[in-house]
Amino acid sequence: MQDPQEKKGEVRYTQYLLVILIGLLLAIGVVSVYIHVALHQVEANEPRYTYHFAYISKAADAYTTNRIYEEARAYGLEKAAYIEKFRSNSINDYTDADYVRMATAMEVDGIIVEGSGDEQLLQAINEASIANIPVITILSDSKKSCRDSFIEIGSYNLGREYARTLIQLSRGRYLSATILLDEEDTSNIELMRGMRETLANEGNHLSVELQVLNVHDLANFRITDMVREILEKEPFPEFLICVTEKDTMLTYKAMKDYNLTGRTHLVGLGISESFLKAIQDGEMAAVIDVDAVQMGTLCVETLVQLNEEGTVNSHLIADDTVITKENVARYLNDEE
């Protein structure tokens, strides 16, 4: 027969275990409720996207394309669109065509890409079109492809902006400018028309002399030699104008390498950290580039419209922006 004291101890032990078990169950219940509420809270706070767009640019570190991406991404939040950037911090041999094919395989809702005449890129864009994925090109076009729309500054407007910049920076009644451009590029016909008409109308108080130097198919060192020849022999042109980012960089580098800065006012195209610092230091007069805010907005609006309505204008014009010593500090702060 079991001792009464021993039996009493077993009862107490059982009660003790029961209390612990009940406590554990309550704790588990509280934790479960907390996790359930927390998960619902996270789900409620997570952005919900209707569209997934791919953004593909030639250079991962280019100031302009990065700004356009940031503006598109920010505006995309308002339109329930997630903008995924390709080539950011990528160290590989993938081409733009490869990234377009990757985006196509991911079945994104739209592709934004810097266009070019590269045959592989043209083919990749056409493959995306066959897969019913809308594609828009920005800054430069892929004319022979099935892209849905091209968004650019606009050659005529760009020419007008160059002319207005020269008029604003000119210090006298005589204005001389030498322009480096590819005369085989038909878009430069409109650019020169815009420049000449604006100089004639808005700069009619000036005596203007324009010299055009054709850089079509010239190797980089030939352009460098051309710049040196222009600036080593007086009289120097008051302005030296470049209408591509590449020619602007080559010209600026030649002026630095041959100690020719200060002999002319360099007006170029495109924004980079080196250009911004050159403007701040007085080594460049101005650069012109696309309005990144408007371009980013147009990218998203165009792809959303293509998804919802199926059609857009095949050619869209974005505004430009001019950076001089007066406003360069704001852009340098953005770069930092």
The tens digit of pLDDT for each residue in 127-148 reads: 999 999 999 999 888 888 999 9
Question: How many percent of the chain have pLDDT more than 70?
Answer: 84
Report the C-alpha gap between 149 and 302 in whole angstroms.
8
- Tally of CB atoms within 10 A around 153: 21
Q: Which two tokens stand for residue 65?
A: 């394309």
Q: Distances in Å between the alpha carbon of 19 and those of 12, 14, 205? A: 10, 9, 98
Mean pLDDT of the chain: 86
Question: How many percent of the chain have pLDDT more than 90?
Answer: 60
pLDDT value at position 56?
Answer: 93
Taking residues 313-325, what's their average pLDDT?
Answer: 92
Is the predicted pLDDT of residue 44 greater than 50, yes or no?
Answer: no
Is the predicted pLDDT of residue 225 greater than 80, yes or no?
Answer: yes
Is the predicted pLDDT of residue 204 greater than 80, yes or no?
Answer: yes
Is the predicted pLDDT of residue 22 greater than 80, yes or no?
Answer: no
Task: Name the DSSP class of 73.
Answer: H
pLDDT value at position 110?
Answer: 97
pTM of the full structure: 0.74
Least Cα distance to 241 among 281, 308, 194, 207 occurs for 194
Going along 115-206, which residue ranges are E strands?
Answer: 135-138, 149-152, 174-181
**245 pLDDT band (50/70/90 cuts)?**
confident
Question: DSSP readout, 14-68?
Answer: HHHHHHHHHHHHHHHHHHHHHHHHHHHHHHHHS---SEEEEEE-S-TT-HHHHHH
pLDDT digits (tens, 9 = 90+) for 66-117: 889 999 999 999 999 999 998 755 566 788 999 999 999 999 999 999 988 8
Is the predicted pLDDT of residue 38 greater than 80, yes or no?
Answer: no
Least Cα distance to 107 among 123, 77, 130 occurs for 130
**42 pLDDT band (50/70/90 cuts)?**
very low
